Amino acid sequence: MPELPETETIARDLDRAISGRRITEVDVTRSDVLREGSPDALREGSHGRAFVRTWRRAKLVVLDLDTGDHIVVQPRFTGALLLSRGPLPDHEAPYSTVRFALDDGRDLHYRDIRRLGTLALMSPARFEQYSAMLGVEPLDPGFTASHLSGILRGSRQAVKKVLMDQRVLVGVGNIYANEACWRGGLDPSRASRSVSVDEAVALHAGIVGVLTDSIAARGTSFRDYRDASGGRGDFERFLAVYGRGGQPCLRCGARLVETHAIDGRSTVLCARCQK
């Protein structure tokens, strides 16, 4: 699933590529990806409108229109926003669910292989309501080590589960929760309220550091994530624990342990240096 670095990469690319471009046609071929409203409502609300900004909120890509409305895309597992001039490649074309034709001859497709992601046209008021249900952005200045410490002290859940709770902290999924805990030297199964202030400082640095580093590498591509040009992220080769169960810890050399006990998803850690 695209997490913060992947959606940030997509948003930055599209902001440079389509800002100022006007939508000349809207084609909805798979209406089940529409989170809200109908295909006709999407066409009426976006046809003839221009993109003024593309940005990220949580794991969402938000495309602002000159009406003030927002096209909000949640890629989830296999969703992607792809730009093309002419038809998509044969391996991508069958999975295009929504196509926005632009006034410069290009198309912006929402491609989703499994159609588990969503696209919605939201008014400013509706988007504000939706965004208010989401937690703090981990790369915002307001997200400090002290803020994180307060979040952890208020929960009995495992540290990893708190980091992945989008109502508390947004954008961090399984990959980066694993990596942040390793960088912070913290066992992801620890009860959150047992984390000391000093440990919260180290974990905060791990969260911010791994997200920043992954953005610089344009995200992590294991399976389906692609940027707006169809390219892959490069952060996979810098992963310290995720996907490396049974291999040596890069810090101490001990064999990494993989478990599904915390939340049913893969958790990889070093039992020697993560306490």
Annotated catalytic residue 265: yes
* Closest residue by Cα to residue 179 from 64, 91, 266, 55: 266
Three-class SS of residue 172? coil
Task: Please report the DSSP string for 196-222 in residue order.
Answer: -HHHHHHHHHHHHHHHHHHHHTT---S
* Closest residue by Cα to residue 112 from 88, 140, 142: 88
Annotated catalytic residue 3: yes
Out of 16, 255, 265, 275, the active site residue is 265
Beta carbons of 179 and 11 less than 8 angstroms apart: no
Annotated catalytic residue 188: no
| CA–CA gap between residue 17 and residue 19 (Å, rounded) | 6
Out of 56, 59, 99, 111, the active site residue is 59
Tokens linked to 18: 């389509």
Q: Beta-carbon neighbour count of residue 236 at 10 Å?
A: 16
Count, in order, helices (H) and strands (E) of the chain: 7, 10
Beta carbons of 136 and 165 less than 8 angstroms apart: no
| CA–CA gap between residue 267 and residue 264 (Å, rounded) | 9
Out of 3, 8, 179, 199, the active site residue is 3
Annotated catalytic residue 124: no
**Residues with catalytic roles:** 2-3, 59, 265
